[in-house]
Structure 1
């Protein structure tokens, strides 16, 4: 085990952290303090586990740095578990067991619950990825399917009629899928139009910029590299304050299903 940011030795100031963890409600996890984990079948991969059921999430998120020659050839996912991989930086060869795809920065693949995701870094540089898994919620007559794309090719739309907030949907918006991934980008001064309150959960990785995020009515500074978990009914909204880049983040959202009781 080691620290993802590779910080060694004593700090030059007091020990402190921007992390905030309210289990079952919300969490902010900055890069500093996150650890690298060794996991079975992830060869030459530096794994960092983010949201899990222990935090209150019904999904699991990871950061995965795939070193040259590394990957997962045994398969990520299992029967009943859907998976998603997004390339943050670099190149990766991925497969759903039937077809193989070459992904570059911004590329992603969704693999349904009856297949497993494999991947390998055949380049000469580390590839940074974001991984997700969740138990698929079955409905008779519906069945998800493999989907591959690149966020750079996805056309954004104005988010709720706000021209300075760009919204991208990465997976098809049909009932076969019980979740989706989106990218929201707020220009400086852009914000949500209201404080959201809903039962859907989110796991969000900040891709760029700086801002203030409202988590259960706590306004918390956030920036590129931070990870946010938002639990069911957690009050949530943000605004962008960065000068050099929009506040942009990749996030998951469960959808298209009734509530199990």
Structure 2
């Protein structure tokens, strides 16, 4: 498997400023060329770590999740990664070695590794090996539901999961599902979508789920609202709910991306933010 990860740096003074970055009312595109050193962040409690924060809740746009592209130097990590009450987490490793401990259980993660960490769990993370550990970190407040238990921690790897071919596509469009879609304990999915050269989304998907799409491999043209946008490995797309979307995989190799979506819960009828005092 191939997993693109940004390395940072800064373009030379001779480079053209014009790229493909765009932010609209319906979607945003952050090309891989935007992942420079000057837009990295640091987090309290994390050692020898920097990150690119590529999604955060924005009122009226994408509201349910945050996504970080993490880079942890050997020996770095955190003993208390996140103090946000009620937050659940998904980690997807693109390079390096990590030791994850959750409520006293230890797990080893390498490239292609996937970990789900439920809300309320106590966890730590340590980068092992001689190269930086690189991974995506998704955070979302878990939304409780009547009769639904909290999910349990689990760790797996992409190479151990058979992709699920979409109907009537002869395998040209497939999804690697880390969570059973019928498991209602989970209110978010982070999957890997793979298109073989020439594969398409043959209609304009228009639906309630918001998306974060990080391209791991290959290139394609993506229909976003009214626009066709060229994308390649390392690009990030952020789609608000109901943004029309479709895709054509341009080849010559597979086109693969990480896909976030919120699922399996009622639509909120009240704002999560308190109103003005009476």
Change (3 A) 1:171 1:235: same
Aligned residue number for residue 8 of structure 2: 5
Q: Normalised by the size of structure 2, how large is the TM-score?
A: 0.87
Of 111, 121, 135, the residue aligned with 1:129 is: 135
Contact preservation (8 Å) 1:97, 1:118: no
Runs of 4+ aligned residues of structure 1 deviating over 4 Å after TM superposition are: none
Distance, in Å, in 2 between the alignment partners of 1:99 and 1:161 is 42
Distance, in Å, in 2 between the alignment partners of 1:110 and 1:41 is 21
Q: Does 1:46 align with 2:46?
A: no
Of 188, 192, 198, the residue aligned with 1:189 is: 198
Change (3 A) 1:259 1:54: closer
- Which sections of structure 1, spanning at least 5 residues, go unmatched? none
Q: Does 1:19 align with 2:21?
A: yes
Aligned residue number for residue 160 of structure 1: 167
Aligned residue for 1:239, secondary structure, equals strand
Of 96, 100, 107, the residue aligned with 1:94 is: 100
Distance, in Å, in 2 between the alignment partners of 1:183 and 1:234 is 20
Q: Does 1:146 align with 2:148?
A: no
Query: CA-to-partner distance for each residue in 1:224-259, whole Å, 9 max, x for gaps?
Result: 01111111001111111021x211001111111111
Aligned-residue Cα RMSD (Å) equals 1.6
Distance, in Å, in 2 between the alignment partners of 1:219 and 1:107 is 32
Distance, in Å, in 1 between the alignment partners of 2:41 and 2:73 is 14
Aligned residue number for residue 34 of structure 2: 33
Aligned residue for 2:159, secondary structure, equals helix
Q: Normalised by the size of structure 1, how large is the TM-score?
A: 0.93
Aligned residue for 1:48, secondary structure, equals strand
User: Map of 1:46-125 to 2, 5 A cutoff?
Assistant: 46-54=50-58, 56-57=61-62, 58-76=64-82, 78-125=84-131
Contact preservation (8 Å) 2:164, 2:177: no
Contact preservation (8 Å) 1:240, 1:247: yes
Distance, in Å, in 2 between the alignment partners of 1:252 and 1:98 is 28
Offset at residue 53 of structure 1 (A):
1.5
Aligned residue number for residue 184 of structure 2: 175
Contact preservation (8 Å) 1:4, 1:32: no
Aligned residue number for residue 3 of structure 2: none
How many residues were matched structurally? 256
Q: Does 1:200 align with 2:202?
A: no
Offset at residue 221 of structure 1 (A):
0.1
Of 209, 212, 236, the residue aligned with 1:227 is: 236
Q: Does 1:210 align with 2:219?
A: yes
Contact preservation (8 Å) 2:46, 2:81: no
